[in-house]
Structure 1
Amino acid sequence: MKSRIFLYLFVFSALVALYLGISGNRTVKTLEKQIIATEGKLSKLEDSLQQSQLQVLDMQYFSLKNNDDALAYYDHLGIQDPARYIADKLLETNEQEGDNPLVPYEGMQNSFKINKIKLLNHKWIIADFSDGKYWGELLINYELKDDLSVDFTLTDHLLYTRN
C-alpha cells in the first residue's frame, strides 16, 4: 500500500512537471514572439526618429539661431537672443493702425499683419502675412545697428491668389 502511494505521488508529480514544462515552453515562445515584434517596432521607431532628426536639422539649416558666423556678427552688441530681439522689432511694426508698412498690399478683409517670421541669417528675414482670408510672404533685408535700432527694407513680396 505504501509503495502504491509513492507510485501515485511519483506519477502525479511527473504529470505536474510535464504540464509545467509544456506550459512554460509555450509561455517562453509567446514571449519571444512578443519580443521580436517589439524589437521590429522599436527598429521602425528608431528609423523614424532618425529621419525626423534629419528633417529638423535640414529645416534649421537656414536659421540665424544655428548660424554661428551670423551670430558672431552681433557679439559686440551683448544681446542674449538676437533672433528674438529682431523678430520682436519686426512684430512691433504690426502695432500701427491699418496695414503693416512693410506689406505692399492693402488688406481686403482686414489689415495685413505679419504673422510668422524666420530669420535666415544676419541680413535676411522671410515673413508670412495675412488679413485673415488672404495671405502672402515677404523677403526683408534688415540691419541691426549699434544703438540696437533695426532698419527693415522690403526686398521682395508675393500675394497668393485664391482659386
Structure 2
Amino acid sequence: MKKKIYFYLFIFVSMITLYQFVSTSNMVQAKNKAIETKQARIEQLEDSVQKLQLKVLGMQYFSLENNDDALAYYDHLDIKDVSLYISDKLLETNENKGDNPLIPYEGMENDFKINKIKVLNHKWILADFSDGKYWGELLIKYELKDDLGIDFSLTDHLLYTRSH
C-alpha cells in the first residue's frame, strides 16, 4: 500500500513538473516573441527619428541661427537673439492701421498682416502673410544698423490665387 502511494505521488509530481516545464517553455517563447516585436518597433522608431533629424537639419540650413558667417555681422551688437529681435521688429510693421506697408496688395477679406517669419541670413527674410482667407509670401531684404534700427525693403512677393 505504501508503495502504491509513493508510486501515485511520484506520478503526480512528475505530471506537475511536466506541466510546469511546458507552461514555462510557452511563456518564455511568448516573452521572446514580444521582445523581438518590440525590438523591431524600436528599430523602426530609431530610423524615423534619424530621418526626422536629417529633415530638421535640412530645414535649418537656411536660418540665421545656424549661419555663423551671417551671425558674425552682429557680433558687435548687444542682442541676445538676433533672429528674434529682427522678427519682432518686422512684426511691429503689422501694428499700422490697415494693410502691412510691406505687403503690396490690398486685403480682400481683412487687412493683410505678416504671420510667419524665417530669417534666412544677415540680409534676407521670408515671410508669410494673410488676411484670414487669402495668403501669400514675401522676400524681404533688411539691414540691421548699429543703432539697432532696421530698414526693410520688399525684394519680391507673391499672392496665391486660391483661398485656404
User: Structure 1 length as normaliser, TM-score?
Assistant: 0.97
Give the aligned partner of residue 157 of structure 1.
157
SS in 2 for 1:133: coil
Q: Once the 2 structures are TM-superposed, how far is the Cα of residue 67 of structure 1 from its aligned partner? A: 1.0
For the pair 1:82 / 2:82, whether they are aligned, the reply is yes
> 1:66 & 1:80 partners in 2: Cα distance?
15
Give the aligned partner of residue 11 of structure 2.
11
Q: Once the 2 structures are TM-superposed, how far is the Cα of residue 81 of structure 1 from its aligned partner? A: 0.1
For the pair 1:126 / 2:96, whether they are aligned, the reply is no
User: 1:89-147 CA deviation, whole Å, 9 max, x = no partner?
Assistant: 00000000001000011111111100000000011000001111111100000011000
SS in 2 for 1:136: strand
Give the aligned partner of residue 147 of structure 1.
147
SS in 2 for 1:44: helix
User: 1:6-27 CA deviation, whole Å, 9 max, x = no partner?
Assistant: 2222111111000000000111
Give the aligned partner of residue 59 of structure 1.
59
> 2:21 & 2:10 partners in 1: Cα distance?
16
Q: Once the 2 structures are TM-superposed, how far is the Cα of residue 4 of structure 1 from its aligned partner? A: 2.2
> 1:134 & 1:148 partners in 2: Cα distance?
33
Q: Once the 2 structures are TM-superposed, how far is the Cα of residue 157 of structure 1 from its aligned partner? A: 0.5
> 2:6 & 2:60 partners in 1: Cα distance?
78
> 2:133 & 2:2 partners in 1: Cα distance?
96
**Amino acid of the structure 1 residue aligned with 2:36:** I
Q: Once the 2 structures are TM-superposed, how far is the Cα of residue 2 of structure 1 from its aligned partner? A: 2.2
> 1:73 & 1:6 partners in 2: Cα distance?
94
Q: What are the within-5 Å matches in structure 2 for residues 90-109 of structure 1? A: 90-109=90-109
**Amino acid of the structure 1 residue aligned with 2:26:** R
**Amino acid of the structure 1 residue aligned with 2:109:** Q
User: Structure 2 length as normaliser, TM-score?
Assistant: 0.96
User: 1:45-64 CA deviation, whole Å, 9 max, x = no partner?
Assistant: 11111111111111111011
**Amino acid of the structure 1 residue aligned with 2:31:** L
Percent identity of paired positions between Structure 1 and Structure 2: 66
SS in 1 for 2:153: strand
For the pair 1:50 / 2:50, whether they are aligned, the reply is yes
SS in 2 for 1:132: coil
Q: Once the 2 structures are TM-superposed, how far is the Cα of residue 69 of structure 1 from its aligned partner? A: 1.4
> 1:108 & 1:66 partners in 2: Cα distance?
37
**Amino acid of the structure 1 residue aligned with 2:8:** Y
Cα RMSD after superposing both structures? 1.0
